[in-house]
Structure 1
């Protein structure tokens, strides 16, 4: 498999990317103004104009097909632009009565965001009935979410105004339409919350006969392939069906997995043995075909057995011609592979 830390910047991934600012490593450590892009309390004026606008005057119009922000009761873009916040502000519109969000939780939210300078709506997950999952321990999230979401309740509806200094900083984000001094306004609905999964949870499923057998041990699954025939096509067998949302192509998923060769049962890779899950984009060609096709459509919390023919893994073994040495390829080329995958999260 390719690097577990690859990120895929695509339209399908944009809702989550909007919630992540510059990581500490990406800031210019040699710049005197670097702190302005990483510390919420430091001189917001360095990346923001003078405050203009009151979050109390911002509302949400829910009469249309999808929510839209208003300013003094009018469409946001018709307000006294630019809307500029001097510091991060939050306001609860509706109080929920569900579980309280903790700072170690993953939070599933729907949201829309508006550029306070232009009045333009940048992203709305409501229009496609989508949601995103935020890991509040992820330090690349906007500080506003890590600071403001803990203590809220499932069902809460929030407004947030986030100045440039607490979002993308002086660099802005041209690709997403956010300038270096732009305040971002969010309307957010908290839909679910909970501690991140560490293993599959859900309803056990009786597997079809003739497949590898799986027994969970102290260091993950033990996979017995004795007597299993080579597959003609990809086999996807849920062993536990999770109760979370379906995995969608373009998302980044967090998983635990173990892979063995069908030919001899040898383990060639295991995140369980390394002691931590791995994360990568799915359904976008960044991993082997068997993973893209086998995991998209499965639900978060599931444990999935994949039996993958060589052509959907690392390809057929390179052919040797007389008098010539075959070109080097992946050491697993030509091997049918078996994986057990726990889907712990998708965002």
Structure 2
């Protein structure tokens, strides 16, 4: 996925969203695992694609090669991002449907920013008022009827009457798990229908469908989804009735056959949540004697000691320090990790997500991170702590980064927190 230009309407967008990434901005201000591709070492912005509605919701434009994408880190998280663009994506399998971010017009930006591909002599279009998201209610005069067990695809009966325009978020079955907090990483399953047309929208329970992994309340999704989980317990089933202003606004979504005035129905099952500062649990094993030794430091960056007198390896080396019990990470999955990185040459730390206070997310196998990460993490199990020693050929090669000299061998300790 490639993403470089900020999309209109992102409330958190005060600078280039691609600058949010581990270690700082590439091309002179520090970086750790993000791929450097410009020939001169500078970031080169690809042409921005014209605005168009996309599947399930986004504030960010994407290129046509992207299957799904997220600008995930809230503004308080360290500098994430990629030269290729925003480092957040979710694999679309089978039905090709997930919850995508919807482009929203931003009246606060000049017309040239909102439509950079327009001819210079073209008159600027007149700005239209962006629909205001209605206040959330927990009930309405008429609501859909939902049946079926939590954790399985819901049966949604659409009323004959049309919605009264209320934005409803209502817990149908309360779970027994932890309460989801804002910015927690949350995995949900969902069923959806278009109230206005009665059309069924493909869900995560369909064959080939995938649960959705995102940060709760981070302002990344359409309001219908962004507002549906924070403050509710894991294991809950939640009904969401979203008028256009809480869904695709006045754009609709042609890919899903959703009109500009359509009200949507979601039934969201909250599967699990993860604190953004979480680390994996378990008793760490010692690394092999010829690899850097790792001392667990709880919620702080791990202490990593490079062995004296051992030459840097020429090929990728990895060691599982804590073996997770979750599923194996597959190529194309979105993963959430904590990491600490340092130079093999002198043991100097150059970055850690734990110093930023939030986990880092990227899509495996998509060239969004250095090859050593893609090769070293795919096939590992969720819940694992993995040490990687990455030669320059699988890192930054002869491209120096701030704090990382050219041709550096890199050491990372990575906690794989979740995948979806």
Question: TM-score w.r.t. structure 2 length?
Answer: 0.60
- 1:1-347 correspondence to structure 2 within 5 Å: 1-2=34-35, 3-4=81-82, 5-8=86-89, 11=92, 17-18=99-100, 20-21=101-102, 27-29=106-108, 31-34=127-130, 36=131, 39-41=133-135, 54-57=142-145, 59=147, 67=153, 69-71=155-157, 84=163, 86-90=165-169, 92-93=171-172, 95-104=173-182, 105-116=184-195, 117=197, 119-128=199-208, 130-150=210-230, 152-175=232-255, 177-216=257-296, 220-225=301-306, 226-242=308-324, 246-273=328-355, 276-315=358-397, 317=398, 329-330=399-400, 333-347=406-420
Q: Report how far residue 151 of structure 1 moved.
A: 5.1
SS of equivalent residue, structure 2 residue 393: helix
In structure 2, how many angstroms separate the alpha carbons of the residues matched to 1:307 and 1:341? 11
Where do 4+ consecutive residues of structure 1 move more than 6 Å?
Answer: none
Unaligned stretches of 5+ residues in structure 1:
43-52, 73-78, 318-328
* Structure with more of its chain in helix, by fraction: 1
Do the aligned residues in 1 keep the contact of 2:192 with 2:264 (CA within 8 Å)?
Answer: yes
In structure 2, how many angstroms separate the alpha carbons of the residues matched to 1:99 and 1:335? 44
SS of equivalent residue, structure 1 residue 233: coil
Alignment CA distance shift 1:296-1:231 (3 Å): same
Unaligned stretches of 5+ residues in structure 2:
1-33, 36-80, 110-126
Alignment CA distance shift 1:196-1:59 (3 Å): same
Deviation readout 1:244-267 (Å, 9 max, x if unpaired):
555443344343323233334343
Alignment CA distance shift 1:130-1:205 (3 Å): farther
Do the aligned residues in 2 keep the contact of 1:61 with 1:68 (CA within 8 Å)?
Answer: yes
SS of equivalent residue, structure 1 residue 98: coil
Do the aligned residues in 1 keep the contact of 2:97 with 2:209 (CA within 8 Å)?
Answer: no
Alignment CA distance shift 1:298-1:28 (3 Å): farther
Do the aligned residues in 2 keep the contact of 1:106 with 1:134 (CA within 8 Å)?
Answer: yes
In structure 2, how many angstroms separate the alpha carbons of the residues matched to 1:164 and 1:280? 30
In structure 2, how many angstroms separate the alpha carbons of the residues matched to 1:276 and 1:99? 22
Do the aligned residues in 2 keep the contact of 1:89 with 1:160 (CA within 8 Å)?
Answer: yes
Question: What CA RMSD, in Å, does the superposition of the two structures yield over aligned residues?
Answer: 3.8
SS of equivalent residue, structure 1 residue 311: helix
Alignment CA distance shift 1:312-1:100 (3 Å): closer
SS of equivalent residue, structure 1 residue 294: helix
In structure 2, how many angstroms separate the alpha carbons of the residues matched to 1:231 and 1:98? 48
Name whichever of 156-165 and 194-203 sits farther off: 194-203
Pairs aligned (count) = 309
In structure 1, how many angstroms separate the alpha carbons of the residues matched to 2:157 and 2:323? 45
In structure 2, how many angstroms separate the alpha carbons of the residues matched to 1:84 and 1:246? 43
Deviation readout 1:143-199 (Å, 9 max, x if unpaired):
344544345444333332212110121233445554322222222222234533433
* Structure with more of its chain in strand, by fraction: 1
SS of equivalent residue, structure 1 residue 114: strand
Deviation readout 1:99-125 (Å, 9 max, x if unpaired):
252433443321122334360423324
Do the aligned residues in 2 keep the contact of 1:201 with 1:241 (CA within 8 Å)?
Answer: no
SS of equivalent residue, structure 1 residue 293: helix
Alignment CA distance shift 1:269-1:110 (3 Å): same
SS of equivalent residue, structure 1 residue 290: helix
Rg larger for: 1
